[in-house]
Amino acid sequence: MEQYSMEPGRAYPLGTSVNDLGVNFSLFSANAEKVELCVFDELGHQELMRFVLPSCEHHVWHGYLKGAKAGLVYGYRVYGAYHPEAGHRFNHHKLLLDPYARALKGKFTWSDRHLGYKADSPEQDLSFDDRDNADVMLKSVVIDPEKPQIQRVPVSWQNTVIYEGHVKGLTQLNSKVPPELQGSFLGISHPSMIAHYRAIGITTIELLPVQQFLSEKFLHDKDLSNYWGYNSISFFVPHSDYLSTDQVFEFQRMVDELHQAGFEVLIDVVYNHTAEGNALGPTLSFRGIDNASYYRLNPSEPRYYINDTGCGNTVNLSHPRVLQMVMDSLRYWVEVMGVDGFRFDLATILGREPHGFDKHSGFLDAILQDPLLNTVKVIAEPWDIGPGGYQLGGFPAPWSEWNDKYRDSIRRFWRGDKGLLPEFARRIHGSSDVFEHHGRQPYASINFLTSHDGYTLHDLVSYEQRHNERNGEENRDGHSENLSKNYGVEGATDNAEILALRLKQIKNMLSTIMLSQGVPMVLAGDEIGRTQQGNNNAYCQDNEINWLNWQEDALYADELTALLARLSELRKRFPMLAYHRFIHKDDPKSDVDITWYHCSGNIMHKENWHSHHASTVGYLVQGKADDASSVFCIFHAGAEPVEFVLPEINNVEYWDVMVDTSSSAINNEIPKLPAQRTITLQPRTTIVLSNEHKGSEPSE
């Protein structure tokens, strides 16, 4: 057995720090009375010894374990008052994870022994539970990771095309990925996946939560699991199920390989709540270390949690040490794990102070001033379920935000809803009505029509009702209104006419995303026609409902992949489609102009915009120089053909037909169309015309 001795250590940095002689342990708890470090065997099965952390300064408990090395398996037991009515839930019989742990050992097993109270006690009087949980609990592991080998090369916001995917779902069924890598971090950076990313022209991969998470007990009891992963328990640890050899450096290797191939990696992070749940949840880490500091508690009844997340608890970022933990975690994922940015789940929570959301909150200000974090991409999901929780457009620069107004408006337009032309144009224009303030630019808008949460594009044109029966909640979960249309048959069909129409509508929506000002986000699998069989809340389905079907005969795959590749190339060739500032007519500060056209060939006037039944509009964007290139996008959502007169554009004799969603995208030929003529738009069609002058593109 190793010979260890405990000595006074250092309060900072928090977590563990390794040197040649031992390991320093540091843990924040403002209300603890004593902290014990528990050392386990290398498998985490047997507790070998305990040491009391000998020092406490500024509420940080610390000690230096001489003789310890990287690889040590450990946990904490924290002593203090068990007084839920006052917000304190200390229970030293429960082994706790280090909030700063960089690696974990073992498998978590659900048991009533994780509860700090006796399971059969009434909610108003939770009796203290003295049973030990160590044998069914994860343990922390001391590691000393190296920094990534390949430096980040950021992609400018205006050149960014985001591809949102799930670590397991991306490769679990991909036969081109070796079986041992399928469903893992290393599967994502396999050469076959990199070839696909290049083929469709994306620049940035955004992964659903990769920090260690747990499945809720109610899912476990139904033989389901939290597939999405929005239930974090360790903010510094890559999720173990995505590691093929149980070594956290696999995440770093994935990032290095993707960086080497020219791609960015963003990760979806969940700092708004933890897997410890509500007042009846388990004691796994934060609750047992210092419940009253780590969580927002109900001021009048501290036994209960403020639940602005809908997940049982809310992390208290108003506390400086909790804010410090989140900031340290973010810096770790950038500096050590190598990521290029973050998408923040329920980000309004993070900007909340006791008085409500504040764009100058401690967290938002901390991000802005941080010399490392203000160099990476930060994306907000700008809502929560608390009072005043919807904050689209309310985040400060340099934040970008998921734009649900874009999602809903574009869905409704292509569904055929009437009176939407003005709203449709505002969204394509970059949602200047929402974001053009305080120095924000079009890339503040993350334009998406589908995401992990809700329908895929395939299902958006195939189902009008949710089909979530497999979730075990009697089909009551998930949104009841999805702004979708099935075109005559609910779900799968062999009707060729309906299938052709559905394909065209997917092409129209995919085209709209890529032709809009702002940052496009594509849901992984939409480019191969992925279906979730009508499930619009597939968070608990770790199966073929969520895994991408990479079979070559997948419905629509060839057509949609070719179209996305064409659209991505268009954005690269014509920077005005992703301009770095909002474009306004005759703006002297801009070298790009924008004009909206009626199907008569005339510029849109007020009466055209407000014609209730109008469903056709043209969008011309061009450089101001005499020989500048032009792109003319025409959108027709009507169910009948319509004549469109092409307007007279200076120095344009012929248009190249880059996209026509009524034709196949697989054909690489680019037809030419004489200018100043009338064309017939087929029902529900997008057409993109270009006139390119080499070397005359507007500056970025």
| Enzyme catalytic residues | 345, 381
Three-class DSSP category at 221: helix
Contact present, 431 and 405 (Cβ < 8 Å): yes
CA distances from 385 to 269, 307, 326 (A): 18, 8, 21
CB atoms within 10 A of CB 162: 25
Q: Is 173 exposed, middle or buried (0-12, 13-18, 19+ CB in 10 A)?
A: middle
Secondary structure (H, E, C), 326-359? HHHHHHHHHHCCCCCEEEECCHHHHCEECCEECC
| Structure tokens that stand for 631 in this block | 């792109």
Closest CA to 436 of 400, 390, 393: 393
| Structure tokens that stand for 446 in this block | 């993350």
- State the Cα–Cα distance between residues 74 and 49, nearest whole angstrom: 10
60 backbone dihedrals φ, ψ, rounded to 5°: -110, 120
- State the Cα–Cα distance between residues 423 and 615, nearest whole angstrom: 12
CB atoms within 10 A of CB 436: 18
Contact present, 481 and 547 (Cβ < 8 Å): no
CA distances from 368 to 96, 157, 326 (A): 33, 17, 14
In terms of DSSP H, where are the helices of 336-440?
A: 347-350, 362-369, 404-415, 421-428, 432-435
Contact present, 173 and 239 (Cβ < 8 Å): no
- State the Cα–Cα distance between residues 379 and 375, nearest whole angstrom: 13
What phi-psi label fits residue 413: left (phi over 0), alpha (psi between -120 and 50 degrees) or beta? alpha
- State the Cα–Cα distance between residues 425 and 248, nearest whole angstrom: 46
